[in-house]
Structures are given as C-alpha cells and as structure tokens.
Amino acid sequence: MTILSAEMIDRFGRFKLWHIWGSVLLCISFPSVFGGSILGTDSYLLKVIGYSFFAAVFNIGWAGTQVAHMSMVNCMTSNPTSRVALVSCRNASTMVSNLILYGIALPVLGAIKANTYADILLQYKWITHVSIFVGCCFLVLFHAGTSEPTFKSEPNNCKKKPARIAWSYWFEKTLYYQVALLYMLARLITNVSQSLIAFYVTRDLKMNQYSKSTIPALINICSFFVSVVLQEMKWNSRRLKSFLTIGAAMWVISGAAVFVLPSHMHDLMYPLAVVIGAANALVMVTAIGLESVLVGEDLNGCAFVYGSLSFLDKISCGVALFVLESYDGTTGSDEPRGLNTMSRYGTGLIPSCFALLAIVVTSTLRLKDDDSPREKAPTAAALEAPLLV
C-alpha cells in the first residue's frame, strides 16, 4: 500500500485528504489489533482471521498517513535547511509520542493489576483507547493548523503539475539507489534494535522488568533532544553526509559494546542508551534529509520516492526480524546465555554491521552543495529556518 498510496498522491494530490483517510483507518483498526478482537468469539480460526484483517487495515491506513505526511515536507518548502529542520521536528515529535505512550501506560498498569488474562486485555484496551483519543486531538490540531502545501509562484508545484513524473525517471538516477539503500539501512538499524532491546535487557543483561521501559524511554529522550538541536542547524549536502557518517559510527561503537556487554556490568547500558538515542536521531534525520535532496524540485513525483523507500524498509525489516526470531533457541529466561543469542545479535552486532555499511554507502555519494544563493530566492522557501528562532 505504500506504493499504491504514493501513486495516488502523485496522480491526484490532496495530501491532507490521504492523511486523514489513513488516520480514520488507523482509528478503526487499532483497537482490534491491540485491544482484543471485536469478533467476540472463542474460535481460534476466526480470531486469526480477525486479527490478520485488522492488522492489514491498520497498515493500509498507516501507508497513506505516512507517505502523505513525509511528502508534504518537500512541498512546504524547497529550502534545504528548512526541509531538514522539518524532518528533525518530525523525528522529535515521534520521540515525544513514544514517551506519551509510556505516560499513558504507567497509570493504567498501576491502576489495573494483571492477575488474570482478562485483566491484561483490560489494560491494553484502556491504553489503546486513551492513545487513540490523544492521537485524534493532535490530528485535529494538525489539519486545522496546516494548509494544503503549494507554491503558487512556481510552475512546477504540488497542485499545478505539468505532468506526473514516471517511475522510470527515478530508476535512472544512481542517487535513488544510494538514498534507498541508506534509508533502508537507517530503518534496519533503528527498528531491529528497538524491537529486540526489551528481550536483551531482561534476558541477556538480567536487568529488572522496569528496564524494558526505562532503557527505551532514555533512548527516546536523547533522540528527542538531539533532533531539536539538529533542526536549529544550517544544512547542506556536505553536512548531511558528515552527520550521517557520525551517527553511523556512533552506532558501530555502541552496537559492538552492546553485543559484548556482560550481565554483571548491565549498568553500562544506561550511558550506551544515551549514545544509541543520539545515533538514532543523527541517522534517521540525515537519511530522510537525503530523500529531500533526491526529490529536489521534482515535486510532482515526490510521493513515489517516499512510498517506494518505505516499502523497501518495511520488507527489509520484516525479513530481518523473521530471520532473527526463527533462529532464537531460547527456551527459558533463566538459562545461562552467552554471546550467541538472538537478542544480542539483533540489538548490537547486526545494527553495527548495517551502520558500517551505511558509512561505506555514504562515502560514495556525490551531491551538489545546497548551500548556494539559490536558497535565498523568494520562492525557495515557505519557511524560515531555524524553526525555533
């Protein structure tokens, strides 16, 4: 659906319409994915069908929401600094949303004790419904406070396109494949490590159950602050490459440390979480910033770039997690565990390898310096950067 949503957005425009359509699907499907099946049956087959159906609807909605939201950045401004600032703001807001979820879960889990399976279902139902309500509040603010982006003075804009750019146009660009690989690696680094870190800190490091929330929360907080700093910088191609390399190098070092960290030194996971949070922000912001560099002024085909690259990242992350979990030989959390565990590989070593490959790919990029007088032209930016000044 990322590809189909991108095609529809490029063909018909209307970013906000696609965004709210996807959001409605999310609101409808999310309670059934995490809050219990609405089918009201004990049949295993019907439960599988129900959960699969609503999970599919959820991802259909997510595809439309994500592609529309990411594509809007390029149409709100052509100023390279403003584009990266918006991406940084978006990443910071993602970290805030993760922290809000922890804030919602904490009182719910404290108020409802999970003594039975029914109690667990009740916990997740409350977390789900409150999360949807908070999300809808921000959704209303977004659509009420944001106009459909357009450059009225530009002939090549998001509403008045002379022609929709064909997919083959992007496939003929070497930069498309380089950016696609970097974005895929960035998503693999962050998604794979964050998916398995809860197992790592409890199974391998023997930390308490609270660490499953405190360590990811620390990572999100550090990523938030680094994202805020990044949106205040002046950006060009050279800085995008440099900061991506720095972030990937930080992941190589921290991932290797996570892989070999012994359980009796588990307190070192806290400073490592700080480094990982900063590295996540550097890698994600710069990788998405390079997508904006790839799009440039070709706004009438920008949704396909984000849709196709999102498709690539979802498939690669799914395959990576499937392979890792297929080779997980853990039969109990109390058994002695060495370095050869799924959670150690997935949280430390494999993201480090992806980060090392990202450094190599980044070194092959040949980009024009965006720090030129062109960005000061009246039509070059609809926003002033930095955002907080």
**Residue-level pLDDT at 182:** 95
Distance from the Cα of residue 253 to its chain's centroid: 22
Query: From the CB of residue 41, how many other CB atoms can be counted at a distance below 10 Å?
Result: 11
Task: Please give the CATH topology (third level) of the domain spanning 2-328+337-365.
Answer: Growth Hormone; Chain: A; (1.20.1250)
How many CB atoms are located within 10 Å of the residue 328 CB?
14
Interatomic CA distance for residues 57 and 64, integer angstroms: 11
Q: What is the pLDDT of residue 180?
A: 94
**150 Cβ neighbours under 8 A, 6+ residues apart:** 75, 157, 158, 159, 160
Q: What is the pLDDT, as a whole number, of residue 382?
A: 38
Angle, CA of 60, 178 and 280, to the nearest 5°: 65
Distances from the Cα of 379 to the Cαs of 56, 97, 281, 324, in angstroms? 41, 33, 29, 48
Q: What's the pLDDT at 389?
A: 39
Q: What is the pLDDT of residue 385?
A: 42
- Using the structure block, give the residue that is written with the tokens 């912001």: 285
Q: What's the start-to-end Cα distance of the chain, in Å?
A: 38
The list of the chain residues with pLDDT below 50 reads 151-161, 331-333, 370-389
pLDDT of residue 20: 92
pLDDT given at position 146: 85
- The interaxial angle of helices 80-111 and 44-76, nearest 10 deg, is 150
pLDDT at 369: 61
Contact 309, 97 (CB under 8 A): no
Dihedral through CA 255, CA 261, CA 267, CA 272, nearest 10? Answer: -10
| pLDDT score recorded for residue 335 | 54
Q: What is the pLDDT of residue 106?
A: 82
Please tell me the predicted confidence (pLDDT) of residue 282. Answer: 95
Q: How far apart are CA 103 and CA 114, in angstroms?
A: 18
